[in-house]
Amino acid sequence: MSYDDVEIEDMEWNEELKAYTYPCPCGDLFQITKDDLRLGEEIARCPSCSLYITVIYNIEDFLGDNDKSKNKSLEPAKQQPISVA
């Protein structure tokens, strides 16, 4: 069972960790990355103890231009016609 339900707006972005964080009662921080959120993950874990929280967020807020550009790179390249002499 989750220690708490926390809205993403109540978490802080930590540039050094590249993760959203929230204070844990043990003194460390619950952490969840943007990549985790894009994948639909909703559990932020504390690296120092066994507690975790459920993050409440809208996944569409994290599916932006980055995913669109990644999808473009997955598309097959268009073949160019070859001239034969």
Q: What is the pLDDT of residue 63?
A: 83
* Mean pLDDT within 17-37: 96
Q: pTM of the entire structure?
A: 0.72
* Mean pLDDT within 52-74: 72
Q: What is the pLDDT of residue 27?
A: 97
Q: Please give the Cα distance from 41 to 18 (Å, whole number).
A: 16
78 within 8 A of 30, measured Cβ to Cβ: no
Q: Which of 1-5, 10-14, 51-55 has the lowest mean pLDDT?
A: 1-5
